[in-house]
Structure 1
């Protein structure tokens, strides 16, 4: 009863068949699993904040840097990371499209209209001012309320660009703009296109994706062996511990073969929470979370 019917990537019938499952979220650093959590909702947007809270409960602090794909780019998530003081290298839904060499902004999309912040109005492609007429609110499934400013043109009747501008029946176009989300997107774009952001974007593909690839294809761990969220959590916890020990042993063997020093501290990373304070030998705090 804790699971939810979801569409899986493994679809033998190729007909969009749904199966009961969980949305597994992991954070990784240097391809080590630093945290994990299971969620019943299939979308990633609503999992980021609870996952960060899980990270906080496990380590006593939030990561200083977060790198994630566009599935996590929402106003609610950006605001949480901003107020937590995190560097959010998190893409939004149109970021990939904007980075294409042949990308041309749509001049009739309100995101590309000129905005006068001083007098709070937009200018449409024909040069007509769109004044603010009110505010609307939307509520997400988690209860977060977003505020959208509404702007309306004075008169679109007879405009030669009307057929390309909008398809509504009215003679005055109305747009809704989320100014706070636009600010977060602008900040995210600057971070993602910086030299450090390009480096993080390159590493994101080989951090959690490589872990999932090793899990599913190298170790054939494609489905849980128990029922119920508590048992499934126990199931994956043992797997994550074994995965990290295997990864550390592989690194030790490789460094020993190359004549390097053996990083013994890594072996004690995941047994830290179960040891008493006087028995804790080594400890390093993960600084980055890659969702």
Structure 2
């Protein structure tokens, strides 16, 4: 897979693992190694490993847009988790000058009761069928298909689409609902708190690990040995941090729980 450090700047691929960690109060609460270069396919197995380690699922999950897929949102929803997980273009939507593109299918008006859409010109688009899309993990999503009745002669056609015939769009209604719920959580008072915490939770751990401790490469080969390699580092890291807190805050610090069941995800 492609690494973040690319000295030659040629996109060279190297053997490696996608390291995922969960943190709470800047302690490493869980970690896992994956061969997947993208983060989307790692969230569910990571949360399952957290459950097997602590015998319960995390009640709050905070992660960036790399984890915002329909499959992941559905898993967290069905397991009663609060998903403060961003989706693609969330940051763009928060900009003061952001204006939604009225010609994008996801911005069309949708009538849920009668199941039809309205295009920017005001034309009704009828439901013509459903298309099922299978992801790399085997998850099947359902996309509803809608088609305009007559696009010929429309004054907005040049801005709307360039294909021949009448415009056909696909909408994933389930994903739209998950995104709307995620947006409400992320923009709430608690969501703003978690978004701010997300910037300092795992980033501090990786900053200490890579820059202060110079731990940038695994010392072994093979997944089992690499797992052991990082496990020893995580234990030492947590002990070092615990000793620093005890020195700074006294022995009373031990009375408080050193982690909460809040998983903050980050990839290395």
Matched, 1:15 2:10: yes
1:106 equivalent to 2:101? Answer yes
Number of equivalent positions: 265
Matched, 1:243 2:237: yes
Confirm or deny that 1:216 pairs with 2:210. Answer: yes
| Cα deviation, residue 137, structure 1 | 0.4
State the structure with bigger RCO (CA 8 A, min sep 6), 1 or 2: 2
Unpaired segments ≥5 residues, structure 1 = 1-5, 267-282
TM-score (norm 2): 0.96
* Residue of structure 2 equivalent to 1:183: 177
Structure 1 residue 175, shift from structure 2 partner = 0.3
Give the gaps of 5 or more residues in structure 2: none
The within-5 A match list for 1:89-168 is 89-168=84-163
Partner of 1:263: helix, strand, or coil?
helix
Measured after TM superposition, the shift of residue 127 of structure 1 is: 0.5
Contact 1:38 1:229 in 2 (8 A): yes
Residue of 35, 51, 66 corresponding to 1:71? 66
Alignment root-mean-square deviation, CA: 1.2
| Distance (Å, rounded) in 2 between the aligned partners of 1:65 and 1:264 | 23
Structure number, greater radius of gyration: 1
CA shift, 1:167, in A, is 2.1
- Offset at residue 285 of structure 1 (A): 6.8
1:264 to partner: Cα distance? 3.1
Conserved in 2, the CA contact under 8 Å of 1:59 and 1:285? no
> How far is the alpha carbon of 1:265 from its aligned partner?
5.5
Identify the residue that residue 290 of structure 1 maps to in structure 2. Answer: 264
How far apart, in 1, do the equivalents of 2:227 and 2:28 lie? 14
Using the TM superposition, give the Cα deviation of residue 262 of structure 1 relative to its aligned residue in structure 2, in angstroms: 3.2
- Asked if the contact 2:25/2:260 (under 8 Å) is kept, the reply is no
What is the CA–CA distance in structure 1 between the aligned matches of 2:208 and 2:88, rounded to whole Å? 27
Q: Which consecutive segments of 4 or more residues in structure 1 shift more than 3 A?
A: 283-286
**Cα distance in structure 2, aligned partners of 1:186 and 1:238:** 41
The equivalent of 1:25 in structure 2 is: 20
Report the 3-state secondary structure (helix = DSSP H, G, I; strand = E; otherwise coil) of the residue aligned with 2:21. Answer: strand
SS at match of 2:15: strand
1:263 aligns with 2:253: yes
Q: Is the contact between residue 66 and residue 288 of structure 1 (CA under 8 Å) also seen in structure 2?
A: yes
The one-character-per-residue Cα deviations of 1:150-183 (angstroms, maximum 9, x if unpaired) are 0000010111111110122x22000000000000
Please list the CA deviations of residues 211-256 of structure 1 after superposition, one character each: whole Å capped at 9, or x if unmatched.
1111111100001000000000000000000000001111111113
CA distance in 1, matches of 2:12, 2:105: 38
Instruction: Give TM-score scaled by structure 1 length.
Output: 0.89
